[in-house]
């Protein structure tokens, strides 16, 4: 019976080493752990994109109109909760299309979303 336990222990140790040794890749390449949105047109992503444009407009009054989220990524932040970085396609009051970069944080436990930055995308 001892050889079976030894083999089982060796297999379990090998699996544990493989799991620990597999690296996770940060999307941004900066080591901060950003991961792309699994589904770019998911209702939550669209809601966050629309919210970012509306929140920006409250301060800038430039009448941007949300079109869609072009790309985005997310990561957990120990202090801010979930942090989102997204590129949003929107049109201005004259109908000119543009891309904007928004960074948001969502603190679910406080039912709060914060707009950290919103700027024209380069």
Interacting residues of 69 by C-beta distance below 8 A, sequence separation 6+? 37, 40, 41, 45, 46, 48, 49, 86, 87, 88, 89
Q: What is the pLDDT of residue 118?
A: 98
* Domain 25-120, second-level architecture: Roll (3.10)
pTM of the model: 0.72
- CB-based contact 118:99 (threshold 8 Å): no
Helix (H) or strand (E) holding 50, with range, is helix 43-60
pLDDT band for position 6 (50/70/90)?
low
pLDDT digits (tens, 9 = 90+) for 17-26: 333 333 333 3
């Amino acid at each position: 019976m001892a050889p079976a336990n030894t083999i089982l222990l060796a297999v379990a140790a090998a699996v544990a080493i493989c799991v620990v040794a597999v690296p996770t890749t940060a999307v941004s390449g900066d080591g901060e752990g950003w991961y792309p949105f699994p589904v770019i047109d998911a209702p939550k992503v669209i809601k966050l994109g629309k919210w970012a444009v509306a929140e920006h407009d409250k301060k800038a009054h430039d009448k941007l109109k949300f079109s869609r989220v072009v790309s985005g990524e997310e990561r957990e932040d120990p202090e801010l909760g979930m942090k989102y970085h997204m590129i949003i396609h929107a049109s201005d009051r004259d109908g000119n299309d543009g891309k904007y970069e928004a960074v948001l944080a969502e603190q679910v436990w406080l039912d709060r979303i914060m707009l950290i930055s919103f700027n024209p995308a380069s």
